[in-house]
Structure 1
Amino acid sequence: MESKDISNKFSSDRKAPLEIGVVSISEYRASWADQFLKEASCIRSATNCAQIYIDHVGSTAVEGLPAKPIIDILISISDWSAAESLVSELEGLGYKIGEKCDKVPRYFLKKYSAGGSEGFHIHVCEPHRRWGREMLTFKEELKANYQFARAYADLKKQLANKYRENLQAYMVGKKDFIENKLREIRSEFSVNKLLTHQRAELNKAERLQVQMIGTQFAIATTAAISVYSNDNKYLFGAAILTFILMVFWLSFSQGQQRHRSAGDQVRRVILLISGLDMEPSAGQKLRIIDSFEVSTLQIPLRREEDHFATREEPGYKRLSEMIEESSYWTRDLQHASARVMFVILVILVAILFITAGTAVVSLKTDNLISLARAMIAIMVFAISSDFLGLFLAYRNSAIAIDEIFRRVEAVDARGYMESDILVLMSDYNAAIERSPAPFPWVYRFRQNELSQRWRAYMEAKLVSQSSQSSGNESS
């Protein structure tokens, strides 16, 4: 958490009288944490319940966050049959029951000091009840997300100024803000969020791949230039620079593999959730979320409806259509990337021929040696960057994914048999994971044209299916 004071300054710990029923927002006080610890210790000493958990919740639990000067305490009790006894013991500490709900079940109790300078609210529930979990979740979100905490602080101040003597209106004013954030957190593993994470991870992998190529080019350029120098200091500096560039290249390579792996993993999960309505276990979800390294806070949410054209209900037909659409787009991006690599290869070959021609024309031994060394450096760059291998990988990947795309029609003709779909999904994932990441700018250049072509294809396909259906009904 960023330990920033949201109001940019800490107020003093002097305690002003607490006006009950009046909404008053105080700047953060360091004493709130001590007040909680002291009260929690009193509660533990006064209660006989074997298993209770006491948490500091609410705004006073978040460092730097302005709040009403009332300490919110969540008590989770494992054995709910002992809840009444716990409440009685809390009443012995001066707490009064403000609310009892049998449906959840839960208790709400409150206590204010005789001098009116301190206030405590206690919420009692079972450990795994959503009501209590969301208190803890909201607190952790405020701690982790500075921008969100600042927005929440601003909202509370506005509401406090507007509804100073209307606590109910103040609480209602916060409700939508809090519930929207909780819904967003609950949807952390929704298809929309996963699509956003997938794009973020793959974009990062694509950028790192370009940085790898750029670093290799810098290494080759340094090597090519060094052949024209006999200055020991320059050569020593070039060697150090080359070593540093190699370290950067290794870092880029490792990062590219991690981000690509995270993006590929999300793709597999999306096919299961959106295509077959199959949810991974909680442990698998945690492992997948832990693999994300790129923040999506500033990235627009990607919608499932915008990403997939199919409107079929979850099942084998929907999964097949998702694979068909993804294959169509990926095949084109691989083809386009192969063309880019071909152009680069042509340029490299042209440079080699020009260099060789210059060396032959000069007919000077020293020039021939220097230019030959430069040619070797260029060839080393081409080989180390594996431009030819990357070109072939793009081309072969496009061919393999095109074969997947064409297999969908055969699966459709056989009525979307389970075995056909599962083999198709397995082969599709394997083909995508073998394919190199397309260049970042290729998608932007091809997006509009591909969207138009895909819509035309889908329209033609629907018309064809409709005609076949009408023909079958007529016969």
Structure 2
Amino acid sequence: MKKHDFIGYLKAQYAASSAQLKVSSFMLVVATAPSAISIFVNDENLIYTLAILNGVLVCIWLMSLTSYQAKRRAAHEARRAALLTDSFDADLSSDEVAYIRETFTVKESIAIPLIDEYYYDSKSKPGYKRLLDNIEESAYYTSRTQKASRQLLTTFLIIYACSWILMLFIAIPDQESVFLASGAKLFMAITIFMFSGGLVRAWIDYGSCAKNTAEIVTRCNAARVNEVKQIDVLMILLDYSGYIDSSPEALPNTYYKMREKMEENWKIISGGRQ
């Protein structure tokens, strides 16, 4: 594999990962549906049927989640390989290429057409300065998409909180209402779903990653003020990779909706610097 091939796999794997995230999220909602329905059911046979269905759907969700994690791992492998090979204008050894290829989940026929030799905007010569440029560019896009994902989840959580307050004020005056009691049970089931599904954790992690990657951009600029030190660049690279690897993937379609504006802003930023 040549160095630019990894860029094609990077794009293909992130697209596959994003698509699988949609499927996994949908299956999680579907898997919790029988539990929510059981709140309104009194027939024991139907409850047992819903319990069996719930177990089957949970198994399907777990398989979907496993597939997502494999695709996400492959996307990260492609990202690291693309970043380093472009920065140093070098190809990886055959052993490393073989290892990385084993993690890929997309076919070569899908990845190759996505190759873009100008994926990274840096005009610097191959070396640590170019690596610093590429890290900064990647961190810029990451911080924006992670911030946007947090904002979307914030909107959802605000709606949820308002619904909770509304439920509280409606249910308390009429505690004998069976409908309201069932509604309260359903609301608690949704709360469990939110925490078990990792929505609150994702909201926290999105904010943390957005902040940390924004700091990476600042550190890249600071490292560029004086002569670029290799050890500084490597430290920044390790921190950036750590933030990316531990953060949740940006919500589906977030990048594509913001892409044009981010690219315009980045051209202004990088143009003024170079």
- TM bracket, shorter-chain basis: over 0.9
Aligned AA (1:349) = A
Identical-pair percentage: 25
Kindly indicate whether residue 230 of structure 2 is the aligned counterpart of residue 409 of structure 1.
no
- 1:264 alignment counterpart: 76
Higher strand share: 1
8 A contact 2:175–2:181 mirrored in 1: no
- 2:101 alignment counterpart: 289
**Structure 1 residue 270: Cα displacement:** 1.8
Aligned AA (1:356) = L
Choose between structure 1 and 2 for higher RCO, CA contacts under 8 A separated by at least 6 residues.
2
- 2:212 alignment counterpart: 400
Q: What SS does the aligned partner of 2:250 have?
A: coil
Higher helix share: 2
Distance 2:156 2:187 in 1: 16
Distance 2:3 2:170 in 1: 58
Kindly indicate whether residue 273 of structure 2 is the aligned counterpart of residue 273 of structure 1.
no
Larger gyration radius, structure 1 or structure 2:
1
Aligned AA (1:206) = S
Which of 238, 254, 260 is the equivalent residue of 1:442? 254
Q: What SS does the aligned partner of 1:410 have?
A: helix
TM-score, normalization by structure 1: 0.55
* 1:69-468 aligned within 5 A: 189-298=1-110, 300-305=113-118, 307-364=119-176, 366-462=178-274
8 A contact 1:360–1:368 mirrored in 2: no
Write the deviation string for residues 84-106 of structure 1: whole angstroms up to 9, x where unpaired.
Answer: xxxxxxxxxxxxxxxxxxxxxxx
Distance 1:346 1:191 in 2: 45
Aligned AA (2:115) = R
- More off after superposition, 427-436 vs 387-396: 427-436
Distance 1:263 1:427 in 2: 18
Distance 2:56 2:171 in 1: 31
**Structure 1 residue 365: Cα displacement:** 5.2
- More off after superposition, 352-361 vs 394-403: 352-361
Distance 1:227 1:285 in 2: 53
8 A contact 2:140–2:214 mirrored in 1: yes
Aligned AA (2:74) = A
**Structure 1 residue 309: Cα displacement:** 0.8
8 A contact 1:220–1:380 mirrored in 2: no
Write the deviation string for residues 321-374 of structure 1: whole angstroms up to 9, x where unpaired.
Answer: 111111111110000111111112122223333333443343325345423321
**Structure 1 residue 414: Cα displacement:** 2.5
- More off after superposition, 285-294 vs 369-378: 369-378
CA RMSD across the alignment? 1.8
Aligned AA (2:238) = S
**Structure 1 residue 275: Cα displacement:** 0.7
Distance 1:303 1:433 in 2: 23
Aligned AA (2:25) = I
Distance 2:173 2:257 in 1: 42
Aligned AA (1:363) = Q
Distance 1:216 1:360 in 2: 31
- Paired residues in the alignment total 273
Aligned AA (1:340) = L
Q: What SS does the aligned partner of 1:340 have?
A: helix
Aligned AA (1:217) = V
TM-score, normalization by structure 2: 0.92
